[in-house]
């Protein structure tokens, strides 16, 4: 059975991986970001997700990042580690590394094969589950994996792989799939979390999502939306979502440069560096960001958690 883990719901930010200008990992900024997220009310955090540039990190960098995040979190909130790989054994090895370094859970997505095969995807999760004590967050993100998991397959994974304790649902349109998963989980229920930068967050919460597992640079905003949803105050939830939607959309542009620049402006990163071949902030985007932040937040000091 999987290791005991606090209930995965609320807001669990996906952390970027900070780099110095020379593209070396910036552990000081990573430590600072973790502590800020805790102060901002995060219910957990994920390191080495897709937009954590995990595919641009070697094992030494992965180990350093995980060790830093686990240490900075200090057991106050759970730490989930992205551990997906194209090979099953390689995924098992990454999961073992995360476990050895003190992770609370791992996030895993399937990898595309030349000939799509649902049975192979199920076997992938079964094998990983048999070889770890850590709980698993199943990531359904076909935009990055090119794997489209149909509803029957996901329900079978939930039923057969006891280590899967949550699903990060990012297959658009997300809200209908959230509803279908909730309706279909008759034998065993797991938490459903919203990703995609919170782009469809309000609709997913209305459909029954348990919260956010995403990297929007203002996690305290997502916490306020979740609180409103739990209180069934949908007018407030909608007002908050509408107010911050321009920032959510702007940040959701391809790549991670915009998110890193916002986090730099929040005082969390020493530089907004993206590892090559990732692109930097597009020309003119800094001025657009100035205007968006001013229009949304006025003179509020964004270097501190925002009270909402």
* Residue 216, helix vs strand vs coil: coil
> Is 277 exposed, middle or buried, given 0-12, 13-18 or 19+ CB atoms closer than 10 A?
exposed
Query: 156, 122 in Cβ contact below 8 A?
Result: yes
Domains belonging to the chain, first-starting first, are: 10-297 (3.20.20.70)
Six token digits for residue 179 = 């509803």
pLDDT of residue 3: 52
Query: 138 forms bridges with which residues in the sheet?
Result: 108, 167
Rounded CA-CA distance 218/256 in Å is 15
Rounded CA-CA distance 300/302 in Å is 6
- pLDDT below 70 — which residues of the chain? 1-6
* Residue 95, helix vs strand vs coil: helix
Angle at 79 between CA 111 and CA 189, to 5 degrees: 65
Per-chain mean pLDDT for the chain: 96
pLDDT of residue 282: 87
Rounded CA-CA distance 60/49 in Å is 16
Six token digits for residue 123 = 């076997």
Q: What secondary structure letter does DSSP report for 84?
A: -
Alpha helices in 10-58, H assignment, sequence order: 27-39
């Amino acid at each position: 059975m999987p290791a005991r883990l606090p209930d995965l719901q609320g807001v669990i930010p996906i952390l970027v991986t900070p780099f110095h200008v020379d593209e070396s990992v910036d552990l000081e900024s990573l430590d600072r970001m973790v502590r800020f997220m805790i102060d901002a009310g995060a219910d957990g955090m994920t390191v080495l997700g897709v937009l954590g540039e995990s595919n641009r990190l070697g094992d030494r960098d992965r180990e350093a990042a995980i060790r830093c995040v686990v240490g900075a979190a200090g057991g106050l909130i759970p730490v989930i580690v992205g551990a997906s790989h194209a090979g099953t054994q390689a995924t098992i090895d990454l999961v073992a590394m995360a476990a050895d370094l003190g992770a609370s859970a791992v996030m895993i997505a399937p990898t595309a094969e030349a000939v799509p095969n649902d049975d192979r995807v199920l076997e992938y999760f079964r094998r990983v589950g048999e070889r770890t004590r850590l709980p698993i967050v199943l990531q359904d993100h076909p935009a990055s994996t090119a794997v489209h998991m149909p509803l029957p397959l996901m329900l079978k994974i939930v039923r057969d792989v006891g280590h899967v304790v949550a699903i990060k649902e990012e297959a658009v349109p997300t809200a209908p799939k959230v509803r279908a998963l909730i309706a279909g989980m008759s034998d065993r229920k797991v938490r459903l979390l919203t990703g995609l930068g919170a782009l469809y967050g309000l609709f997913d919460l209305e459909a029954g999502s348990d919260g956010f597992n995403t990297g929007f640079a203002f996690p305290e905003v997502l916490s306020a939306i979740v609180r409103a949803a739990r209180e069934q105050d949908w007018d407030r939830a909608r007002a908050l979502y509408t107010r911050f939607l321009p920032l959510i959309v702007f940040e959701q542009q391809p790549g991670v440069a915009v998110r890193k620049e916002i986090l730099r402006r929040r005082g969390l990163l020493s530089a907004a560096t993206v590892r090559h071949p990732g692109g930097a902030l597009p020309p003119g985007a800094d001025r657009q960001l100035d205007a968006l932040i001013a229009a949304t937040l006025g003179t509020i000091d964004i270097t501190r958690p925002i009270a909402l």
